[in-house]
Amino acid sequence: MYNGAMATLALLLLGFCGSAQAQRPPGFPPPPPNIAGQPPDRDEQLNSRPMTIDDARMNFATIVESFIIERSKNGCWPLKQKTTGKLLKLKFESILPKSVHELKEGRFMGRAVLRELATDSTVRADFTVDFSGPQWKVEGMRLVSITPPAREPRPQAPAPPPAGKKTAQPD
C-alpha cells in the first residue's frame, strides 16, 4: 500500500514538473493509457488539430532549412538543374512568409530565397511541405527563377568642362 501511494504521489509531482516520462525515476510504471472519456493529453491535442496558416508560416522555414542542411556538403547544397544540367551550389537565405499558402489540409507551399555561391545569383524556389503526419517533411521543390547579381553601372566618361566665354587671345 505504501509503495502504491508513493508511486501515485511521484507521478502527480512529475506531472506538475513537465514531461513525466522523461523524469520518471527507475522502477516506476509508465502512466496508464488514455481511457475513453478522459481528455487527450497535450501532445495528442497538438497532433490532432489541423495546421493553421500562422503555424505553418512559423515552421516552414525550419523544415526547409533542415532539408537543405541535411543535403549540404561543405556548406552548400549541390543541386543539378534539370533543364541545363548545370550544378548549382546553393545556400539557404530566407522564406518569403507571405508566400506560404495551403494546398490541401496539412500541405503547404512557399517560396524560398537561396544564394548560388559560385555566381552570387539569387535563386527562388517553391517548396512543398507536408505537416499532416507526425514527422513534417519537404515533399517537393521547383526552381522558379535565377537572378544574376546586380551589375555596377559602367563608369561614365568625365563630363566636359562647362561652356564658358571664349576670349580672343592676341597673336
- What are the residue ranges spanned by the domains of the chain? 1-29, 53-147
Q: Find where cell 550544378 sits.
A: 87
- The CA-CA-CA angle for residues 89, 82, 91, to 5°, reads 20
The average pLDDT across 42-48 equals 52
Q: Which of the pair, 36 or 53, is modelled with greater confidence?
A: 53
- Across the chain, mean pLDDT equals 77
Q: pTM for this one?
A: 0.61
- Strands 101-104 and 87-95 turn out to be unpaired
Confidence of residue 112 (pLDDT cuts 50, 70, 90): very high
Q: Under a CB-based contact definition with an 8 Å cutoff, are residues 88 and 121 in contact?
A: no
Confidence of residue 20 (pLDDT cuts 50, 70, 90): very low
Which CATH number is 53-147 given?
3.10.450
Task: State the sign of the Cα–Cα–Cα–Cα dihedral 132, 138, 140, 143.
Answer: positive
pLDDT of residue 15 exceeding 70, the answer is no
